Amino acid sequence: MVHTKIIDLLGSTEYNKEVTVNGWVRSRRGAKSVAFIALNDGSIIHTIQVVAEIAKFGEEVLKGVTTGACISVTGKLVQSQGQGQSVEIQAEKISILGTADETYPLQKKGHTLEFLRDIAHLRPRTNTFGAILRLRHHISFAIHKFFNDKGFFYLHTPIITGSDAEGAGEMFHVTTFDLNKLASANPSSGGLPQKDGKIDYERDFFGKETNLTVSGQLEGELGAMGVGLIYTFGPTFRAENSNTPRHLAEFWMIEPEMAFHEIDDNMDVAESMLKYVISYVLEICKDDLAFLCEHYDKELLNRLNRVAKSTFKRITYTDGIDILLKSGKKFEFPVSWGIDMQREHENFLVENFGVPVIVTNYPKDIKAFYMKQNEDGKTVRGMDVLFPYVGEIIGGSQREENYDKLLSRIKEMNIPEKDLWWYLETRKFGTCPHSGFGLGLERLVLFISGMTNVRDVIPFPRTPKNAEF
């Protein structure tokens, strides 16, 4: 079916040309002799007006042109006689591809975001979620373009893994065991095959316990040790029973790993990537951002432009704690050296400097086993990028390249050495300084869109008790 996108028609000046356009009816209005149909195909937030003479088509045909119906229109593109659009289509032929009856839930009226979450299968047809999905695409493309242009290689790390990169244990198990069948056959053991009082994963598909990945970082480091610069971009999973506006069980992560990069190089890449992506979206997504700014966050465009043009402030964790202590502000979570900063602390630091803040040299006791230890024995070369509005947006570090120090830290944190033998071997065979970070795509879309709930920036959110769509 040959057709032209609405985004191309709205920018066209080829008047009186015959065109065919397909899309979904947003609304229909009119008088006895003519119907005005607002049509949208998702290529742009705006609709195009279709003018249909009732005498030409008859009421029987136009009866199916209701809100939500999918139609194909062929007609002449002409200059619009009304206000609000430069062109419209004078319809010569209308075909109804799919009807929508009166139960269609997206009638022409306002809908709450909570209501739309319950109909995630239909919400891409709304202005808000059409804008979000287009933004998400362009943000993703800009990330790929940034890394490609910088000489990075896109590495596909496994979704099914036998290791826990974060050491938190909040992982979804992957198994081929038929739990219902096994439970009925052997109820005394809970249904699962046992060995020495433990689940016998040797009888499972992979012959060992496996999970959905929480991060592609560890495998990403292996790639960086061979081709220098890599980045991953894929789904990650956390079995964290948290029902908050900031958490998802399934989300997308971007994780570059860079050989021969130390902590300052790592910060440089993170800052330049974020500013590049924001600048790209400001240029490409003007209409969608203008809509979101008008309807959801009046300060959105100002905030995006400020961050894109700013120089990020870099401070140590110790300096950050000193600033918080000297502020005189009473925080909900008390401040002392050694705490894991909460969002209220991060927001204060960003507001204090008026620009994004990169905090480095965290206490090793609150950070992951793979971060490079500083000479003081108390801190590691970790870094968090803090943004206005969303708080922490990137977490990363220089990785520990010293075999003995890494092994000691693994043992100290009671992580099974046998699960990470391959990771440790990279420190025995040609180790080098290297760094990397993780950026949650949804957190970045949240910042760029001005939305307040992470469930509204992913097409089909996965949260506790929610896997319907």
257 and 352 inside one domain: yes
Question: Which pLDDT score is estimated for 121?
Answer: 94
Residue 225 lies in a domain: yes
Which residue blocks in 228-262 are alpha helix, DSSP H?
Answer: none
Given 98, 119, 141, the domain boundary residue is 98
Residue 115 lies in a domain: no
Which residue blocks in 241-386 are alpha helix, DSSP H?
Answer: 263-284, 286-295, 300-309, 317-326, 343-353
Of 407, 405, 399, the residue nearest 383 (C-alpha): 399
Residue 424 pLDDT > 80, yes or no?
yes
Residue 266 phi, psi (nearest 5):
-60, -45
245 and 302 inside one domain: yes
157 and 85 inside one domain: no
320 and 238 inside one domain: yes
**Least confident window among 82-86, 101-105, 319-323, 345-349:** 82-86
> Residue 112: which pLDDT band, with cuts at 50, 70 and 90?
very high
Cβ within 8 Å of residue 232, ≥6 positions away: 154, 155, 156, 157, 216, 217, 219, 220, 253, 254, 255, 256, 257
Within a 10 A sphere around the Cβ of 57, how many other Cβ atoms?
Answer: 17
> For the chain, how many residues are written?
469
> Residue 301: which pLDDT band, with cuts at 50, 70 and 90?
very high
154 and 37 inside one domain: no
Residue 461 lies in a domain: no
Do 25 and 38 contact (CB within 8 A), yes or no? Answer: yes
Question: Which pLDDT score is estimated for 422?
Answer: 95
270 and 329 inside one domain: yes
75 and 136 inside one domain: no
Over residues 227-251, the pLDDT tens digits come to 999 999 999 999 988 888 888 999 9
Residue 443 lies in a domain: yes
Over residues 315-366, the pLDDT tens digits come to 999 999 999 999 999 999 999 999 999 999 999 999 999 999 999 999 999 9
Of 254, 226, 190, the residue nearest 441 (C-alpha): 254
Residue 307 lies in a domain: yes
Residue 169 pLDDT > 80, yes or no?
no
DSSP 8-state class, residue 466: B
Burial class (CB in 10 A: 0-12, 13-18, 19+), 213: buried
Reading across the β-sheet that carries 210-212, which strands appear in turn? 160-161, 210-212, 173-174
Question: Which pLDDT score is estimated for 189?
Answer: 53
Residue 134 lies in a domain: yes
132 and 92 inside one domain: no
> How do 194-195 and 198-199 pair as beta strands?
antiparallel
**Least confident window among 73-82, 152-161, 446-455:** 73-82
The helix/strand/coil state of 132 is: helix
% of the chain with per-residue pLDDT over 90: 82
Q: pTM here?
A: 0.94
Over residues 132-153, the pLDDT tens digits come to 999 999 999 999 999 999 999 9
The helix/strand/coil state of 341 is: coil
Residue 47 phi, psi (nearest 5):
-95, 165
Question: Which pLDDT score is estimated for 188?
Answer: 57
92 and 131 inside one domain: no
73 and 141 inside one domain: no
Cβ within 8 Å of residue 111, ≥6 positions away: 126
Please compute the mean of the pLDDT values over residues 212-239 and round it to a whole number.
96
386 and 242 inside one domain: yes
Please compute the mean of the pLDDT values over residues 45-61 and round it to a whole number.
93
Of 393, 341, 396, the residue nearest 372 (C-alpha): 396
Please state the domain count of the chain.
Answer: 2
**The tokens 């030409």 sit on which residue?**
56
Give the long-range contacts of residues 13-17, CB within 8 A, separation 24 or more. Answer: 14/77, 15/77, 15/78, 15/79, 15/87, 16/76, 16/77, 16/78, 17/76, 17/77
Residue 405 lies in a domain: yes
Domain harbouring 47, CATH code: 2.40.50.140
236 and 308 inside one domain: yes
Q: Which domain holds residue 55?
A: 6-98
Domain harbouring 378, CATH code: 3.30.930.10
Given 79, 98, 117, the domain boundary residue is 98
Burial class (CB in 10 A: 0-12, 13-18, 19+), 430: exposed
d(CA 371, CA 378): 12
Residue 222 lies in a domain: yes
Over residues 259-279, the pLDDT tens digits come to 999 999 999 999 999 999 999
